Amino acid sequence: MTMKPISLFLLVGACTEVEDAPLSWDNPWDDMDRDDDGWERADGDCDDHTPSIHPGATDLEGDDADSNCDGVDGVDSDGDRHAESSDCDDTEPTIYNGAPEVGWDGIDQDCDGLDLRDYTLVTTGGFHSCALGSDGHVDCWGADEHGQSTASTALFVDVSAGRYHTCGVTTTGEVSCWGIDDGSVDDAGQVTGAPTTASWDKVAAGALHSCAVDTSGNVECWGIDDGGMGDHGQTTDVPAGVFTEIAANLGHSCALDDSSLPVCWGIDDSSHGDHGQVTNTPDSGEYTQISAGTHHSCALGSDEKVKCWGVFGGAYDFGQVRYGPKSNYTSLDCGDYHSCSVSVYGWLYCWGITNEGPLDYGQVRYWPGGDDYQQVSAGSFHSCVLRTNGTIYCWGRDEEGQSTPPS
């Protein structure tokens, strides 16, 4: 069969310009009230099929229905998206179960029943301990016969507990000390002799003296300076130079100079108390922390290795030098007869006296397990460690409450 061709004609006509009509993307259902509850979707009705669900409706918690369309199953008066059962204050949107907690403000933001008491530093002395709160205030506990645990009400950036006194650097750069000030044999001016200028950065409280380093790296020490048996130059023999860290204990002081090397001064007379804790400092390497014990000293290297020197043999050798850790540490402190360090993994290691004799109160034998530690302080017969959550754990001698931190 023969098909006839079909001709296609393209008709081209004149085009008339017309004004574009506006486009509308409004959902036509938004202007309807399909469940006849008096609320349209455009007015916030989150379920226009159920008359009992609309803004302002009674919302019963636990029925798996957001009856009042506020995004929460139950009443949420403060709009923090937490119903009353998980909100201990439904009038304040910053307070609910699991909210970020602000320390020391007297408010329980996370509804755990407690205000956060988080610390940033802990320090141990002879028979007392102190800690620096995240808000700058200082808490002390333990022996207080000389007022060493009656902390100043100022705000601080650093604090150090000594034998019978405590010193801190305030937020305005002043040194403030409190404790023994009674003219007794143990009062060597370690409180009253504190500098009065206001440019200090760090402070270290020893037994009969204290030292501080200012923001320019200058060191000043005060306390015992009577030429008597306890005076070994730990106050007066401060070397010249620029320093970054400071430490003090019974008969000597130590610092890190601007080349990151340890420099110590004090007992160096070959007497029964001189064990090389001053003269045997390392002469090479780079160090970030320094600490002074009674008969030994230690420093933490930038390579995270611990280096100790001092007593080696004799009646006061309890392994303070011989048994120190080797590497991977970030925090270090020396006590009278022991030392402790926190590793990069968060666990703790202590070494020194373990002979169960009259000087052993378990300051080494009873150190806690765990891997959530960030800073440690070793005292005369006890130690305290700061956890990563800002809380404190102490162990060792505790007859004055020095190992019982505030809860």
pLDDT in tens, 380-396: 999 999 999 999 999 99
Closest CA to 389 of 134, 208, 175, 146: 134
Which pLDDT score, from 0 to 100, does residue 21 have?
Answer: 44
More confident residue, 354 or 31: 354
Confidence of residue 46 (pLDDT cuts 50, 70, 90): confident
**Between the CA of residue 209 and those of 201, 215, 234, 235, 247, what are the distances in Å?**
18, 21, 8, 7, 11
Does 17 have pLDDT greater than 80?
no
Q: pLDDT tens digit string along 80-92?
A: 888 888 889 989 9
Fold classification of 119-396 is Methylamine Dehydrogenase; Chain H (2.130.10)
Across the chain, what does the average pLDDT equal?
91
* pLDDT, mean of residues 211-231: 96
Instruction: Give every CB contact of residue 284 below 8 A, 6+ residues apart in sequence.
Output: 261
State the Rg of the chain over Cα: 34
More confident residue, 54 or 213: 213
Cβ atoms of 116 and 104 within 8 Å: the answer is yes
Confidence of residue 64 (pLDDT cuts 50, 70, 90): confident
Confidence of residue 27 (pLDDT cuts 50, 70, 90): low
Cβ atoms of 135 and 104 within 8 Å: the answer is yes
Confidence of residue 9 (pLDDT cuts 50, 70, 90): very low
Which pLDDT score, from 0 to 100, does residue 29 have?
Answer: 52
Confidence of residue 30 (pLDDT cuts 50, 70, 90): low
Does 4 have pLDDT greater than 50?
no
Q: pLDDT tens digit string along 316-366?
A: 999 999 999 989 999 999 999 999 999 999 999 999 999 999 999 999 999
Which pLDDT score, from 0 to 100, does residue 79 have?
Answer: 86
Domain ranges of the chain: 119-396
Q: What is the DSSP letter of 238?
A: P
* pLDDT, mean of residues 288-313: 97
